[in-house]
Amino acid sequence: MSPASRSPDPPDTGRRNLIDQLTADAIASDYAWPDPEGAVASSSTRARRQRLVVVASSLALAGFLLALGLASRIDNEPAMIEQRTALRERVVTAGERQVELAADVAKLREKVDKARDAALEISLLGVRLANQIQDLELSTGYAAATGPGVTVTMADAPEKGDDVDLELTKVLDTDLQVAVNGLWQAGAEAVAINGQRLSARTAIRSAAGAILVNYRPLAPPYVIEAIGGPSLLGDFQQTDDAKSLKDVSRQFGIAFSAGESRRLELPAASGRLPDTAQVVTNEPPDVDNSVEPGSAKKGDRR
Amino acid sequence: MIALVGLVLGIIIGLVFEPVIPLWLQPYLPIAVIAALDAVVGAARALLDGVFRDRIFVVSFLSNVVIAATIVWLGDLLGVGSQMSTGVVVVLTMRIFANAAAIRRHLLKA
């Protein structure tokens, strides 16, 4: 197909559709009016050679541009990797700093506890308050705890094929919630998931595909440790929560097992203490008032 | 022959030296590359059609590269840069295809 034969008269252009026009004009626009000069000049060998060099250098420029475009694409990649590693480093250092600070907090808490105990030791009332504080610290997750208990382990189902819905074969935040509720119901006194102690302000929720506890993402397998009396395991397995988890495990292949542990060590909760909530005090604290004096003291210590 | 050597030489120079492209030029480089490609394919077709003129090739090559980049730059100023580059790429790609089809007919008679 020669463009000259296809579009004999330019006025025709207006009626053709865009694609036809482009196809016909692809060369026409550049070479439709070949300059007579070029044909004439080509008779001289020297001029021809000169022109050939010009064409060659133009083509060299074209090749250079092409290579430049390719190289810049390739070059972008290391820069991106660099950025990513830099970001990762920042995340890691921030994480390390957080761990350091958490250790500092734990040390300072210990100091405060010792000072408080020393101050309370001197009177009978003080000793009783100290006992109450200890109890409350355990149940609120403020203090690290140790004792016998139950370990519940949950893990995602092994990936089989793509016919199974991936979301359903994973342990969900609601599964952990159910397990923890069952443990509380069975009489657990302190619970931690993968080393994250649960306190009154702990939420178990999922965000961006990860399960967050105390705002820290956890990786499977999920190990729930609960300190409680000798009947904790039996009671837990009697709860509806444990039964429904067994059903889920059977249906979706999620690993779910519970066993007794002789000695568990749960860390203190890393979550924050109440900032705004205050204990209601109607009367001056006295010895018989079981909860309020301790809580008031706790509030004061912030 | 010399022309082909020039093309290969240009690619080698570009790949070996890997010059750093200024950041402000980077959005226009791909467009310039497509325009250059279009000019080269157009020249190849003209050569086979017997209407190739070196002067036209050099002038159209340089002007097309500059115009394509300028259009996109102008589009960037008007806030339609990405649409402009899409438009330029579509037009140039269609030309490349049309010219490539003509070359194919010449070489393979199909």
Higher pLDDT: A282 or A94? It is A94
Does B58 sit within 8 Å of A34, measured CB to CB? no
Mean pLDDT in chain B? 84
Give all strands (DSSP E) within A102-163, no chain letters. 145-155
Residue A289: predicted pLDDT: 47
Q: Are B15 and A71 in contact (CB under 8 A)?
A: yes
Higher pLDDT, A294 or B8: B8
Q: Cβ contact (<8 Å) for A58 and B6?
A: yes
* Residue A148 contacts residue A263 (beta carbons within 8 Å): yes
Confidence class for position A96, pLDDT limits 50, 70, 90: very high
How is residue B19 annotated by DSSP? P
Q: For A120-150, write each residue's pLDDT tens digit.
A: 888 888 888 888 888 888 878 888 888 898 9
Nearest to B51 among A31, A37, A60 (CB): A31
Q: For A2, what's the count of Cα atoms within 13 Å in the CB-facing half-sphere?
A: 10
State which residue of chain A sits closest to B109, comparing Cα positions: A1
d(CA B9, CA A100): 58
Instruction: Give the pair of three-digit tokens for residue A273.
Output: 């203490």
pLDDT of A97 reads 95
Residue pair A142/A136 in contact by the 8 Å Cβ criterion: yes
Taking CA atoms, A66 is separated from A52, A59, B5, B32, in Å, by: 21, 10, 15, 9
Structure ipTM: 0.75
Question: CB–CB of A259/A215 below 8 Å?
Answer: no
The edge-to-edge listing of strands for the beta sheet with A255-266 is: A196-197, A190-193, A222-227, A145-155, A255-266
Question: Looking at the predicted structure, is the pLDDT value of residue A86 above 70?
Answer: yes
Given CB atoms, is A79 within the 8 Å cutoff of chain B? Answer: no
What is the Cα B72 distance to its own chain's centre? Answer: 14
Checking if the pLDDT of A6 tops 50, the result is no
The alpha carbon of B63 is separated from its chain's Cα centroid by a whole number of angstroms, namely: 10
Of A26, A37, A71, the CB nearest to B14: A71
Contacts of A79 in chain B (CB under 8 A): none
| Identity of the amino acid at B47 | L
> Taking CB atoms and an 8 Å limit, are A26 and B91 in contact across chains?
no
How many A-B residue pairs are in contact by the CB < 8 A criterion?
147
The residues near A217 (Cβ < 8 Å, ≥ 6 apart) are: A207, A210, A211
Q: Which residues contact A201 (CB under 8 A, 6 or more apart)?
A: A271, A272, A273, A274
B98 phi and psi angles, rounded to 5 deg: -60, -45
First-to-final CA distance of chain A: 88
A65/A69 Cα distance (integer angstroms): 6
- Chain mean position to CA A49: 66
Q: Write out chain A residues lying below 8 Å of B11, CB-based.
A: 63-64, 66-67
CB contact under 8 A, B3 and A37: no
A244 Cβ contact list (under 8 Å, min separation 6): A178
Could B49 and A31 be called an inter-chain contact, meaning their C-beta atoms sit closer than 8 Å?
A: yes
Across-strand partners of A266?
Answer: A145
Which among A43, A249, A233 is positioned nearest to A150, based on CA atoms?
Answer: A233
Average pLDDT for A164-193: 84
User: A228-258 pLDDT, tens per residue?
Assistant: 888 888 888 888 888 888 888 888 888 888 8
- Predicted pLDDT at A37: 55
Q: pTM of the prediction?
A: 0.49
Pick the more confident residue, A260 or A21.
Answer: A260
- Binding-face residues of A in 37-56 toward B, CB within 8 A: 37-39, 51-56
* 3-state secondary structure (DSSP) of residue A107: helix
| Cα–Cα dist A277/A296, whole Å | 11
Using CB atoms, pick whichever of A22, A54, A72 lies closest to residue B94: A22
Distance from CA of B23 to the nearest CA of A (A): 11
Pairing relation of β-strands A145-155 and A222-227? antiparallel
DSSP state letter for A271 = S
- Substitution target from B54, B66, B88 for chain A, most A beta carbons within 10 A: B54
Q: Is residue A127 within 8 Å of residue A120, measured between CB atoms? A: yes
- pLDDT at position A218 is 87
Yes or no, beta carbons of B10 and A67 under 8 Å apart: yes
Six token digits for residue A225: 């440790």
CB contact under 8 A, A65 and B91: no
Nearest-CB residue to B56 (from A26, A35, A63)? A35
pLDDT of residue B31: 87
* Cβ separation A65–B32 shorter than 8 A: yes
